[in-house]
Structure 1
Amino acid sequence: MLRICLAFVLLLPGLTHAAEHLAGRVHVIDADTWNVGGVRVRLHGIDAPELDQACQDSDGSSWPCGAWATHMVREQFQGRMTTCVPVDRDRYGRIVARCSVEREDVAARIVEQGLAFAYRKYSDAYAGAEQVARIEYRGLHKTQIQVPWVHRARKKPKSSETCLIKGNVSSKGERIFHEPGQRYYAKTRISAAKGEQWFCSAAEARAAGWRAARR
């Protein structure tokens, strides 16, 4: 068993040399997706609003709750050291893990503050934390919000008719976006099965964790 765990870790760049965990400084991509020591990590058992997702206040006005949740998580964890225990790997190739900062379960704190929801499809671990946040109207629970998994399901896929920037996954697993006029733009093909996608702006692509092509 030790050999299997060690092999799993050594296959991932930027991981601490430990058999059952990875560790590194946090770079917050969004509220539930982090870069930990150069490795993309999806926090296990929670689901936060998408970066472009909006909510409605009681008076019906719209506000960018997805960007807000990301900002609040970034304020608390950006640059701090975290230790994560891998649980799975998702369809986009990200490590799904339970992470802690100073021995505190970060997912529990995020849900307790109303910055994300318990993702019961995969785990009931944070259902209690969500219930507390809901009762006390913390964060997202004091606004009108479509839960993230429903929001994603209802979003219309972007197409080349309106969004021209191509988000491509390279053979090395790098997420790179190509803009019209760049050298490899015409040759780049988008495959949704590989997690590739269209973007409407370079800022949107960067916010989602993609870097610009060098030429």
Structure 2
Amino acid sequence: MGLSRRARDVGVAMAILALTALIVARVGGGDGETLTGAARAADGDTLTLDGQRIRLLGMDTPELAQVCKRDGADWRCGAAARSRLAELLRAGPIACRMQGRDKYDRWLARCENAAGDLGARMVREGLAVAYGGYEDEERFARAERKGLWGAEFDMPQQWRRTNGRPQEEVHDAEPGVLGGILDRFGF
């Protein structure tokens, strides 16, 4: 009996140590990390900060090559989205809170600067659609017929599918096995 009790105690101690190691890895492993500094727009929903590619979480913009129709005329809505993000980035240094990576190994993050939450601004101004976040901002943009909502356009996901471009999944940060386990326990 002494051996089985000892084995159980060792097993419990090992489990506690493993859980502690997992928590340390989660806290120090990039998820939740904040990057700050000057950034540049790659397109309407992706930026580069300190050499890191960051995909703005919770929204989606038209692709750079995507053309929409406004008042019967072509409107380069993808280029307009990138131009607006670039303009917002000029408001000053940004802070991006990393929340995982997407299937392209880009960081998924919420970013803000003096202009506010960049994703919220892009969706509220109608240059992005809600994609796992910012539903209230999209309702406002639709009601006010801002940007895309005052034009004829294909949703970015549909445009990518029609034009043979890689598909984006709704931006749930991929926490991995460890993150999934820790999320279930509230860590």
TM-score by shorter chain over 0.5:
yes
Counterpart of 1:73 (choices 81, 85, 88) is 85
Select the residue among 127, 141, 149 that pairs with 1:115.
127
Q: Give SS of 1:8's match.
A: coil
1:144 aligns with 2:166: no
Structure 2: gaps spanning 5 or more residues: 1-22, 167-187
CA offset digits 1:144-198 (Å, max 9, x no partner): 00010111111136xxxxxxxxxxxxxxxxxxxxxxxxxxxxxxxxxx8xxxxxx
Once the two structures are TM-superposed, the CA of residue 3 in structure 1 deviates from its matched residue by 4.6
C-alpha displacement of 1:84 = 1.1
The correspondence of residues 9-20 of structure 1 with structure 2, limited to 5 A, is 20=33
Structure 1 unaligned runs (5+)? 10-18, 158-191, 193-215
Q: Which runs of 4+ in 1 moved over 4 A?
A: none
More helix by share: 2
Determine which structure has greater relative contact order: mean sequence separation of CA pairs < 8 Å that are 6+ residues apart, divided by chain length.
2
Give the % identical residues. Answer: 34
The equivalent of 1:35 in structure 2 is 48
Q: Give the Å deviation of 1:103.
A: 8.0
Matched, 1:88 2:95: no
The number of equivalent residue pairs is 144
**Paired AA for residue 138 in structure 2:** E
Classify the secondary structure of the residue corresponding to 1:107. Answer: helix
AA matched with 1:84: C
Judge which range, 143-152 or 73-82, deviates more: 73-82
CA distance in 1, matches of 2:58, 2:25: 27
Partner residue of 1:45?
A: 58
3-state DSSP class of the match of 2:29?
helix
What corresponds to 2:28 in structure 1? 6
TM-score, normalised to structure 1, is 0.62
Who is 2:177 aligned against? none
TM-score, structure 2 length as denominator? 0.70
Q: How far off its partner does 1:99 sit?
A: 0.9
